[in-house]
Amino acid sequence: MELAGNDARPLRLSTARLVLRRWADADREPFAALNADPEVMRYFRGPLDRTASDAFADRIESSFDELGYGLWAVELRSSGEFIGFTGLARQTFPAHFTPAVEVGWRLGRSAWGNGYATEAARAALDFAFDVAGLEEVVSTTTRTNERSQAVMRRLGMTHDSADDFAYPLLPDAHPFRPHVLYRMSKQRGLATTRPPR
C-alpha cells in the first residue's frame, strides 16, 4: 500500500492495480447502477434506488470527515474506472463484538473475479493497523454469502463459529439474519496482509 496526502489522513491508497480514494461526484452514477443490480444486492434487503444510493454515498463521505477513514471509492489504475467500494466502517449495532471496525466491499459485477476486492481490502487492513492504529478489524456477512466469506479467508482472517451471531437489524425469521464473524488481529494483520517487500 502506498499512501498519498497527509499521512494522518491520507487522501488515497494505491495498490498494484487499484486506487482507493475519497468519493467524487462522478462516482454517484456508476454507484447507483451497481446498487440497482439485484445480483450485487442479493444478500442485502434489496437493490437501492438513486436517492438511497446517493444518501449512502453521503454517509460514507461523512465517515471520512469524522474518523479519517471509511469505505474508499475504488478505481482501476489502468482506466480510471470506478468499480465500487472497499474499506473500513465503524459498526455500533448491538452485538457481542461491537463497537468494532469492519472491513467491507461492494463491487460492480463486471469487476468480480479479478482479485480486486482482496487486493483493495489488503490495503484497507494495512491502513487500519499501520495508520489508524486499530487493534482488531472484523468482517461480517450473511451465512450464505460465500463470495464475501471467500474474500475474508483469502485475506487470512480467522473464523470461530462461536462468534457467529444473529444480525439484530433484521427481523427474527429473515433468511439473512444468521451472520458469520471473521476477525483479523493487528498482530496477524501485520504478519499476513502485506505483500513481501
Ligand X SMILES: CC(C)(COP(=O)(O)OP(=O)(O)OC[C@H]1O[C@@H](n2cnc3c(N)ncnc32)[C@H](O)[C@@H]1OP(=O)(O)O)[C@@H](O)C(=O)NCCC(=O)NCCS
Q: Which is nearer to ligand X, 144 or 187 (CB)?
A: 144
Alpha-carbon span 141 to 166, nearest angstrom: 10
Q: Hey, CA dihedral for 35, 88, 154, 179, is it positive or negative?
A: negative
Angle between helices 146-154 and 116-126 (to 10 degrees): 50
Stretch that binds ligand X, among 47-55, 88-96, 101-109, 124-132 (CB under 6 A): 101-109
Q: Among 115, 164, 165, 185, which residue sits at the site for ligand X (rule: CB under 6 A)?
A: 115
Closest CA to 120 of 192, 18, 40: 18
Residue 116 contacts ligand X per CB under 6 A: yes
Q: Among 89, 118, 156, 178, which residue sits at the site for ligand X (rule: CB under 6 A)?
A: 118
Residue 100 contacts ligand X per CB under 6 A: no
Residue 21 contacts ligand X per CB under 6 A: no
Residue 179 contacts ligand X per CB under 6 A: no
Give the DSSP H or E segment for 43: none
Q: Is 124 exposed, middle or buried (0-12, 13-18, 19+ CB in 10 A)?
A: buried
Please, what is the Cα angle at 87 between 107 and 17, to 5 degrees? 60
Phi, psi of 175 (to 5 degrees): -65, -20
Q: Among 5, 99, 113, 168, which residue sits at the site for ligand X (rule: CB under 6 A)?
A: 113
Q: Which is nearer to ligand X, 5 or 20 (CB)?
A: 20
Residue 141 contacts ligand X per CB under 6 A: yes
Q: Which is nearer to ligand X, 118 or 185 (CB)?
A: 118
Q: Among 145, 152, 182, 183, which residue sits at the site for ligand X (rule: CB under 6 A)?
A: 145
Stretch that binds ligand X, among 57-65, 71-79, 99-107, 159-167 (CB under 6 A): 99-107
Residue 147 contacts ligand X per CB under 6 A: yes
C-alpha cell at 62: 461523512
Maximum C-alpha span of the chain: 48
Q: Which residues bind ligand X (CB under 6 A)?
A: 40, 43, 104-107, 112-118, 141, 145, 147-148, 151, 154
